[in-house]
Structure 1
Amino acid sequence: MSAQRPKILIIGGGFGGLFCARRLAKADVDVTLLDRSAGHLFQPLLYQCATGKLAIGQISRPLREEFAPYPNVKTLLGEAIVLDPDAHTVTVRRPDETEFVIDYDVLVLAAGMRQSYLGHEAFARWAPGMKTLDDALEIRQRIFTAFEIAETLPPGPERASWLTLAVAGGGPTGVELAGQIREVATKTLANEFHSIQPEEARVLLFDGGDRVLKSFAPDLTSRATQALTELGVEMHLGVHVTDVRRDGITVTPKQGGPDQQFAARTVLWTAGVEAVPFARHVAEVLGAPTDRSGRIQVEPDLTVAGHPEIFVIGDLAGREGLPGVAENAMQGGLHAATCIRRDLEGRPRRPYRYRDLGSAAYISHGHALLQLGRVRVSGYLGWLAWGLIHIAFLTGVSNRVSTVATWLASIARPGRFHRAFMLGAADRPEQRYTYSTSDLPAEGHAPGS
C-alpha cells in the first residue's frame, strides 16, 4: 500500500460493496464505489416488487444518498470493462459509451452474478430472469399483461395459454415467485375481471431436482411442497427446460422419456447464475482459476493468489462453503474492509470465516420457512420471522420505516398496491410494446433462437 492516502476501489454496490464502503467510511482512505446503476438493490425482495407487493423505492436506494454524510466515499456511475493489474487501473464505460480510468491501491471486486440460461442464451428473449430492477418491472408487466390479454380473448387454447405462467427453477426465488403469482391470481385479481376467472390461471414450476428448495432440510421442503400444492402451483420435478418459445416451452425428463410441450405465454427464469463479464475478464487477466459458473478462486483472506491488493467477495468468491446469499456478501464486505484497516495499522490479516445466519423462503401470505441451524420454523411463525429478518437487513432508516409500514399493512389486508406497469409506444422501437410483432424471431431462425 502506497505512502499516500490509500485509494480503495470497490466495484459493485450490492451487499458486499455497500458493507465494505460503510466500514471504510471513516477510515483514513479514499473510497470510490463504482456501480453500473448507481443504486443499492435489495435483491431478496425483487419478487415482491415484481408482483406488486412493494414499490421500487422500498427495495432500492441511491448510493449517493447513502454515502452523502461521508466525505471520503465517492460514488460513480459506470461499468467496469478492463483491468490493468500492473498499472493498478480499471477502465470504466459511461452510459453514453465513452470511457474513463480509475486508479487504485486496493481493489474490491463485488460485482455479483447475473442470470444464467445454462448455455441457452436465446431463452432470455422470452423468459426474463430475476436479478435487476428492470427484470422485476418486466416480470410485473408480463404477469399483469397476460391477464389483460386473456380478458380480450374468447374461451379456447389461446386464452388458456395466456392464463398459463411457467417458472423455471425450484430454488427460493422460483418458489417465492410461483407462490406470489398464484396469490395474484386467486386473491388480488379474483374479482376484477368480467370475461375470465383469474383464479383458473395455471402456474407451472419446473426443476431438475427431486424436490424444491434443495438447500433446506427435507421436512421443511415437504411443508413447502404441501403449501405450494394447496395454493395450486403445479410442480414438475426431475425435468430440464430445453426450449423456450414465444408460445410455450419444452421440458425433457432427466431420466429419459418423451419431451413434454406446455403452451405458456409467460415464462420466468430463475434456474441459474453466472459471473458477470468483467469478473471473467478479471480472472483471465490475473490467471485465476474459476469454477463452471465463473466464480474466482480466492485465498483464505478472500484475495486472489499473487494479488493481495485484490479482494473478491460475495457471490464471485469461489471457495468451498461460501454460499451465494446476501449474508455471505455482507460478511465478505466487512471482512475486506477489516483487512484494509489492519493493513493501515500494520497488523496481519485474518482468514475469512463465514457465519451461517440461516435461510428463509416466502411461500405465500402468512406462510414462510426459516431454517437457522437446528431451528426450523414454517407457517405463520415462519412468515413473521421472515419479515423481521428481511426488514432488519434493509438499507437505510427510511427504507426500513416505509417497508415496515407496508409489511404491517399486508398482515391486516394482503393487498398489492404497487401493480402499475408501463407498455412501450409503437413509435419508440427501443421501448417496444410487449408481445408485438417486433418480438417475433427473424425469418429463418429456429424456434427459441
Structure 2
Amino acid sequence: MSVSPASVTKRPHVVVVGGGFGGIATVRRLKRADVDVTLIDRHNYNTFSPLLYQVATASLNPGDITWFLRAVRAKQSNVRFLKGTVTSMDHDTKTLHLEGGLDVKYDKLVISVGVTANFFGIPGAAEYSMPLYRRSQALAVRDRMFAGLENAAINGQDSEQRIIVVGGGATGVETAGAFAEMRNNDMPTTYPELDTRRIHITLVEMMPHVLGPFHPKLRDYAKKSLEKRGVELRLETAVKEVRRDGVVVEHAGEQEFLPAGMVVWASGITAHGAVQDWAVPQGRGGRIEVDEHLRVRGLEDVFAIGDIAVNPDEPLPQLAQPALQGGKHVADVIKAQAAGKSLPKPFKYKDKGTMATIGRSSAVAEIKFMPRLTGFPAWIIWVGLHVATLLGNRNRFATLTNLAAKYLMGGSHNAIVGETPPVVALEPTVLEAQSDIRPGKKAAMKKAAKQAAAQSLPRDDR
C-alpha cells in the first residue's frame, strides 16, 4: 500500500516523524503554511516526559500527561495523523517504509523521534532495571513498587528493602525525592504493617555531585534536600552490574553488592536502534548530525530536531526547549522554501534556563534574567511552568488538581494505583485485628521514620 498525498495535490507534503515536543512544535508552526502535513508516531498520544516520574510514584494518572495526537486537527486542517513505526527510509525516492507494508512519500521530512535509555553495556542493566522514558515504563515502575509493598505487608519484612535509582540528573533526583516522600509521609498511614526504617531509597551517581549541569550552589542545595528526606546518596559510585535482586557498585576501587527489590534507570540516553536503518549520518550517542538550519547533513530536504539531533559544531542540551525552538525554526525554513523566499537566519538556541524539583516546596531553578532560586519559590515556578507546558486544557486542569491534592492537602494519602498480582502468603498466616494502629501510633511511626532517615546519613553529612 502506498500513501502519497503529494500525488493528488501540488502542495508540498511535509512528513513529521515523532509527536514529541519538537514534532508538535513543527506541526503547529506550519498551521497557515501552504503545505500538507502528515504526523507519524508509533503511539497515538504525546507523552509529557518531564512528569513521568509523577506517574511512576502514583501522584498522577497516565492520562494527565498524555495527549491524543489526533486532536491536533481540532485547530489545524492541513494536518493528518498516521499511527505507524518507520522501519527504513529511501531518500533517493523520498519514501518512508513503515511496519505492515505501508509506504509514505515526502517532499520535506522532519525527524523528531527522541531517544531512549542508554545502558552503556553494563551487564544486566537492560534486563533487570526499569527506565522511565515511556508511559508504559512509568506504569511498570508504579505497579512493581505497590506489588512489593503489598507482598511485604502480608509476608513481613524479613530483610531490609531498597529501591535504587541510578543517575543523579533531574529525572533521578526527582524520582528519588518522590519515593522518599512517599515512604516518609504516606506509608506510616497506608502501610502501618511495615517498618519504614527498613525501607531505603538509594541514589547512585558516578559524579561527585547530583544535577551536574546546575550551578554548584544549586547542586549543594539538592544534595542536602535529598539527604533531609532520607535518600542515601552513593556519589562517585559506578554501577558495574545489575542483577535480578540488586546492583553491584564500585566506589574508590572497592566493589559492593546492594540488594534491591527495584532498580530505576535514569542514567544516560541514546538513539533508538532503528535510526541506523534510516540512511542518515549519526554521531555521538547515535544522534543525527545536522547543519546550522537543522538539516540532516548531506540531505537537503530532511531535518532532525530535538534530542535525536546534534550539530557537531554547536551541540545543544537534550532538553525540551531546544526541541521546541528547533521545531519552530525548521517550520520557518520549510515555509520560506514553499513560498520561494530566502531562508531565515541560522538556528540559534535561546537558553531560558533549567529547573528540577526534589519534593514538596523544594526545587532548584536557573532562569534567564533571574537570580538562582531554591526552595519554595523555585518549586512554585516549577509547578506553574510544567502545568502550563502541558498540551490541552483538560490535561492542565487534571494535573493541577492532582498535584494540589498531593502537595496542598496534607491529610490526603490517596495514591493513583493500578493492578498488582495476587499476594500469596509464604506460610500459613492468621490475620488478626491490628487494634494498636491508632492515630497516635501512626503519628509516632511517621516521626520515627523521619528520625531514622536522618540518622541513616553518614555523620559528616548531617
TM-score by length of 1: 0.88
The CA distance in 1 between the partners of 2:197 and 2:108, in whole Å, is 54
Counterpart pick for 1:423 among 396, 420, 424:
420
Give the drift of 1:388: 0.9
> What letter matches 2:153 in structure 1?
E
Q: 1:357 maps to which residue?
A: 352
Q: 2:365 maps to which residue?
A: 370
The CA distance in 1 between the partners of 2:11 and 2:192, in whole Å, is 67
Is 1:267 aligned with 2:233?
no
Q: Secondary structure at the match of 1:178?
A: helix
Q: Secondary structure at the match of 2:210?
A: coil
- Which string of whole-angstrom CA distances, capped at 9 and with x for unpartnered residues, describes residues 141-184 of structure 1? 12222222222334433xx2xx2110100100000000000111
Contact 1:111–1:279 (Cα < 8 Å) also in 2? no
Counterpart pick for 2:200 among 182, 185, 202:
202
* Aligned-residue RMSD, C-alpha: 2.0
Contact 1:55–1:418 (Cα < 8 Å) also in 2? no
Q: Secondary structure at the match of 1:87?
A: coil
Contact 2:249–2:257 (Cα < 8 Å) also in 1? yes
Counterpart pick for 1:48 among 35, 54, 66:
54
**Alignment CA distance shift 1:408-1:152 (3 Å):** closer
Contact 1:52–1:416 (Cα < 8 Å) also in 2? no
Counterpart pick for 2:117 among 115, 119, 123:
115
The CA distance in 1 between the partners of 2:167 and 2:119, in whole Å, is 11
Q: Secondary structure at the match of 1:152?
A: helix
- Aligned pairs for 1:32-47 (under 5 A) are 32-47=38-53
Q: 1:100 maps to which residue?
A: 102
The CA distance in 2 between the partners of 1:418 and 1:326, in whole Å, is 28
The CA distance in 1 between the partners of 2:355 and 2:197, in whole Å, is 27
- Aligned pairs for 1:253-402 (under 5 A) are 253=251, 256-282=252-278, 285-286=279-280, 288-291=281-284, 293-319=285-311, 320-349=314-343, 350-373=345-368, 375-402=371-398
The CA distance in 1 between the partners of 2:157 and 2:148, in whole Å, is 14
Contact 2:125–2:242 (Cα < 8 Å) also in 1? yes
Contact 2:190–2:413 (Cα < 8 Å) also in 1? no
Please identify, of 146-155 and 406-415, the stretch whose mean Cα deviation from structure 2 is larger: 406-415
Give the drift of 1:294: 0.7
Give the drift of 1:199: 5.2
The CA distance in 1 between the partners of 2:19 and 2:48, in whole Å, is 10
> What letter matches 1:362 in structure 2?
T
The CA distance in 2 between the partners of 1:138 and 1:102, in whole Å, is 33
Q: Secondary structure at the match of 1:102?
A: strand
The CA distance in 2 between the partners of 1:199 and 1:400, in whole Å, is 36
The CA distance in 2 between the partners of 1:399 and 1:257, in whole Å, is 48
* Greater radius of gyration (CA): 2
Q: List gaps (5 residues or longer) in structure 1.
A: 427-432, 434-449
- Which string of whole-angstrom CA distances, capped at 9 and with x for unpartnered residues, describes residues 358-414 of structure 1? 111110111111112462111111110101111121111222222233333334215
Paired residue total = 413
Q: 1:152 maps to which residue?
A: 154
Q: Secondary structure at the match of 1:307?
A: coil
- Which string of whole-angstrom CA distances, capped at 9 and with x for unpartnered residues, describes residues 92-139 of structure 1? 11xxxx220000000000001001111137422221101000010001
Q: Among the aligned pairs, what percent are the same residue?
A: 33
Contact 1:54–1:417 (Cα < 8 Å) also in 2? no
TM-score by length of 2: 0.85
> What letter matches 2:286 in structure 1?
G
**Alignment CA distance shift 1:196-1:170 (3 Å):** same
